[in-house]
Structures are given as structure tokens and as C-alpha cells.
């Protein structure tokens, strides 16, 4: 279980995240929706230890604080991030990229099993295991990035805009893979510009606006909400007639 309570991040005087509360349970897919600049990437980066979180507030993974730990210790604790733009090692083969994902001590004893799982999840990677990664298509490189993250045996997997630039067919394949990953018991925190597909696969979602959570709910209720439809799904439809906030934006777990 990943929980953020009162999480804030500032870049100089700019407060990019303001008292955020989110949680992700094992086996759950949670999507974060928000406009450009809302703070979605900052949220994932703060959780992963890549940008410092402000004083106060907590980030707990399975009850233990991971706030502002060095990134490699956060991976060791069980959290993996697939960053926007993939950032795979272009000059290495697919297999070498995957194996590098298993550097965490927590992953070493099960490296072989994890590799088998990644190659089963993405059969294309199995076929192309000796191919130099930068010669793969964008979608295939995304598979490498996700496969590499899964090699660290995470209990929580975070993905920043994984479908960006992928064809509709590859998007469908990607989202199917996420559904498979959740079956392993990992929780998934997804930032997705493809709100329709994100909500279709997610259990729950949060709406992030100017660094604040302005709504949250089940994926079904969010998808049916006219305000969400207008802002993220490209249209106005029937829905429930509610306006934001969908639920009070209090911390979801009592402190």
C-alpha cells in the first residue's frame, strides 16, 4: 500500500503540489488526470525521490516512510517508476536493459522468474531480446521500460504517460499488459493523457488541478461525470450532473 498524506512540493516559490493525499492498494490501478502543468509528473517524481518533498506530510510504502530517501532505496523498498519518455539504455540490448532493472537487492533472488514474467508479458521482447534498444519502435521501447521496471519486483509501479506517442493498437496492448501486471498483486499508479483508456482500466482516479486534488472517485463515477467528460474526455454527456469536487478532498486514510 502506498499512501501520500499532505504531500507538498515547491520549485523555488512555485508550489507545484499542495497537500496532496492519495493512496494505492495492492492490485489496484489508480489514474491521475490533470491538465498540462497540473503537477502529475511532480507527484510521481516526489514519490520516487527524484524531487524533494517539502517539510511536513508523509509518503508511506507498506507503512514505512520513503519520503526523500535516495531513489535507489525507494526502489529497494518496492517502488518502481517508468518515467515519461522511457529513458531506456539505447545502446544496450533489450535483454541487457531488462537485467539492469534487477539491480535492486530485493529483486536478485527472483531475477530469473521476473525475467520470465517480463518476457511472457511482452512476447515481442522475447523475440527481440538481442536487438539494440534504440532500434526498437516507440511502443516496443515502452515495453522495455515497463519490463525493466517490473524486474525490480515492485509492489507499486508508477507510470508517467506510458501511452504517449503510441499507435492505438500498441496502446491497447500496453493497457492489457497493465491489467496483467495488476494480477501479480502490484498496485499501479498511472498518469495518463489518454483519459478514456486510463479510466477504462483503472479502479479509481484522482483529478489534479494546479497542484491540488480537486476530485476523486471510482473510475466508473469519474467517467460518468459531466465535468470530467468536458475536461478530459472531449465532450459533454449525460452523466450524474455533479460538479467537482466529486468527494471531499480530505486525506483518504485517517491519521
Kindly tell me which of 82 and 119 has the beta carbon lying closer to ligand ATP. Answer: 82
Name the minimum Å distance from CB 92 to ligand ATP: 27
Question: Is 38 an interacting residue with respect to ligand ATP (CB under 6 A)?
Answer: yes
- Burial of residue 244 (CB within 10 Å: 0-12, 13-18, 19+) is middle
- The window from 30-38, 115-123, 168-176, 214-222 that contacts ligand ATP (CB under 6 A) reads 30-38
Output the 3-class SS for 109-177.
HHHHHHHHHHHHHCHHHHHCCCCEHHHCCHHHHHHHHHHHHHCCCCCEEEEECCCCCCCHHHHHHHHHH
Report the residue number, 20 or 121, with the smaller CB distance to ligand ATP. 20
Minimum distance between the CB of residue 2 and ligand ATP, rounded to whole angstroms? 18
Contact status: 37 vs ligand ATP (CB under 6 A): yes
Tell whether residue 13 is a contact of ligand ATP (CB under 6 A). no
**CB 161 → ligand ATP: shortest distance, Å?**
7
Tell me the site size for ligand ATP, rule CB under 6 A. 11
Is the CB of 11 or the CB of 25 nearer to ligand ATP?
11
| Rounded CA separation 42/153 (Å) | 23
| Residue numbers 70-109 binding ligand ATP by CB under 6 A | none
Of positions 5, 19, 39, 157, contacts ligand ATP by CB under 6 A:
39
Residue carrying C-alpha cell 496502446: 171
Distance, in Å, from the CA atom of 200 to the CA atom of 130, rounded to the nearest integer, reads: 34
Q: Which of 11, 73, 113, 138 binds ligand ATP (CB under 6 A)?
A: 11
Residue 39 has phi, psi (to 5 degrees) of: 115, 15
**Order of all β-strands in the sheet with 58-61:** 14-24, 2-11, 58-61, 64-65
Q: With binding defined as CB under 6 A, does residue 213 bind ligand ATP?
A: no
Q: Does 53 bind ligand ATP (CB under 6 A)?
A: no
16 lines the binding site for ligand ATP (CB under 6 A)? yes
For 37, phi then psi, to 5°, come to 80, 5
10 Å CB burial of residue 79 (0-12, 13-18, 19+) is: buried
Quick check: 14 binds ligand ATP (CB under 6 A)? yes
**Residues making contact with ligand ATP (CB under 6 A):** 11, 14, 16, 34, 36-42
Amino acid at each position: 500500500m502506498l499512501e501520500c498524506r499532505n504531500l507538498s512540493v515547491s520549485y523555488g516559490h512555485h508550489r507545484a503540489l499542495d497537500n496532496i493525499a492519495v493512496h494505492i492498494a495492492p492490485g489496484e490501478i489508480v489514474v491521475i488526470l490533470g491538465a498540462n502543468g497540473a503537477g502529475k509528473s511532480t507527484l510521481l517524481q516526489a514519490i520516487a525521490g527524484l524531487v524533494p518533498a517539502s517539510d511536513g506530510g508523509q509518503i508511506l510504502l507498506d507503512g514505512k516512510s520513503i519520503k526523500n530517501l535516495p531513489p535507489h532505496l525507494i526502489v529497494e523498498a518496492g517502488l518502481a517508476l517508468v518515467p515519461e519518455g522511457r529513458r531506456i539504455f539505447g545502446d544496450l540490448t533489450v535483454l541487457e536493459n531488462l537485467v539492469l532493472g534487477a539491480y535492486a537487492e530485493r529483486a536478485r533472488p527472483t531475477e530469473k522468474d521476473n525475467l520470465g514474467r517480463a518476457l511472457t508479458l511482452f512476447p515481442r521482447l522475447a523475440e527481440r531480446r538481442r536487438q539494440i534498444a534504440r532500434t526498437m519502435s516507440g511502443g516496443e521501447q515502452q515495453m522495455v521500460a515497463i519490463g525493466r521496471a517490473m524486474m525490480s519486483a515492485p509492489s507499486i509501479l508508477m507510470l508517467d504517460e506510458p501511452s504517449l506517442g503510441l499507435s492505438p493498437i500498441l496502446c491497447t496492448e500496453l493497457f492489457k499488459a497493465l491489467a496483467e501486471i495488476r494480477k501479480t498483486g502490484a498496485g499501479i499508479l498511472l498518469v495518463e493523457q489518454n483519459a478514456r483508456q486510463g479510466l477504462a482500466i483503472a479502479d479509481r482516479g484522482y483529478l489534479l488541478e494546479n497542484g491540488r486534488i480537486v476530485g476523486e472517485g471510482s473510475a466508473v463515477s469519474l467517467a460518468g461525470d459531466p465535468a470530467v467528460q468536458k475536461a478530459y474526455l472531449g465532450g459533454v454527456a449525460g452523466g450524474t450532473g455533479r460538479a467537482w469536487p466529486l468527494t471531499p478532498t480530505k486525506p483518504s486514510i485517517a491519521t
